[in-house]
């Protein structure tokens, strides 16, 4: 596990998040609060150093994460009962195959995708070239899994994909959340990323900002 060059505290984050909120002009929409991590010493030419993960946050954002599920039959019914935003059935996957424009629209609309294992190969062929680079390839729903529990977990999660640049930028919540809640969400991301870094890599800089506001350096 890699370590920060100095330990970051919740108090540091609370102070910076408060400053980020106060520095941001009032907008006519609910702004996200973003966490930016600059990583040093991470050789991304080595595939094993690339980071792709879903991190569950302790506090759910006011902006509800949208989830789509590739499923049929009983799993599709369970997904609908779990309150997913869309169920994409087998035939629809074939319909998407010929239109990158529609797949891009789908990827933009939903935050997370889930899928039955039997559909993964077809999804890869039909949509992989669009979903893959956007870190939107579906998570597999194992047999007999509690679909509702998986969906609820994703509602308060963020997706991270460190592939081309040694940097993480994720929304940790919204400006209407308390500084303490946002700081705890930020710490969850920082801890998860630190735990994935190789020995010589470390988080060098940390910033927070609102969607349209200036970046505030935490460390």
User: pLDDT tens digits for 65-108?
Assistant: 999 999 999 999 999 999 999 999 999 998 898 789 999 999 99
Confidence of residue 219 (pLDDT cuts 50, 70, 90): confident
Can you tell me the mean pLDDT for 20-27? 94
What is the overall mean pLDDT for the chain? Answer: 94
- Is pTM beyond 0.85? Reply is yes
**Domains in the chain with CATH codes:** 10-62+157-217 (3.30.190.20), 67-154 (3.40.50.790)
Is the predicted pLDDT of residue 116 greater than 60, yes or no?
yes
pLDDT of residue 97: 83
Q: For position 117, what pLDDT does the model report?
A: 97
Please determine, for residue 59, whether its predicted confidence score (pLDDT) is greater than 90. Answer: yes
% the chain with pLDDT above 90:
88
Contact 62, 174 (CB under 8 A): yes
Q: Give residue-wise pLDDT tens across range 161-192.
A: 999 999 999 999 999 999 999 999 999 999 99
Give the largest CA-CA distance in the chain: 53
Q: pLDDT per residue over 130-161, tens digit each?
A: 999 999 999 999 989 999 999 999 999 999 99
27 or 4, higher pLDDT: 27
Please report which confidence band the pLDDT of residue 2 belongs to, taking 50, 70 and 90 as the band edges.
low
Q: How many angstroms separate the CA atoms of 55 and 154, rounded?
A: 9
Q: E-assigned strands of the chain?
A: 32-40, 51-56, 67-70, 86-88, 112-115, 139-140, 157-162, 167-174, 202-210, 216-217
């Amino acid at each position: 596990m890699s370590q920060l060059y100095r330990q970051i505290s919740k108090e540091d984050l609370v102070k910076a998040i408060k400053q980020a909120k106060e520095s941001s002009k009032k907008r006519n929409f609910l702004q996200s609060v973003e966490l930016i991590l600059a990583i040093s010493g991470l050789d991304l030419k080595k595939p094993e150093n690339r980071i792709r993960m879903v991190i569950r946050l302790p506090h759910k954002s006011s902006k509800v994460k949208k989830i789509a599920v590739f499923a049929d039959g009983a799993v599709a019914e369970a997904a609908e009962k779990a309150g997913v935003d869309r169920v994409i059935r087998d035939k629809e996957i074939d319909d998407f195959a010929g239109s990158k424009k529609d797949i891009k629209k789908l990827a933009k609309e939903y935050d997370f995708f889930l899928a039955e294992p039997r559909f993964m190969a077809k999804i890869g062929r039909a949509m992989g070239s669009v979903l893959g680079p956007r870190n939107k390839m579906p998570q597999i729903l194992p047999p007999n899994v509690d679909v509702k529990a998986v969906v609820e977990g994703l509602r308060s999660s963020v997706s991270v994909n460190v592939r081309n640049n040694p940097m993480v930028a994720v929304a940790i919540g919204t400006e209407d959340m308390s500084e303490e809640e946002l700081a705890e969400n930020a710490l969850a991301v920082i801890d998860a990323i630190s735990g994935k870094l190789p020995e010589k890599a470390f988080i060098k800089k940390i910033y927070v900002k609102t969607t349209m506001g200036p970046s505030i350096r935490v460390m």
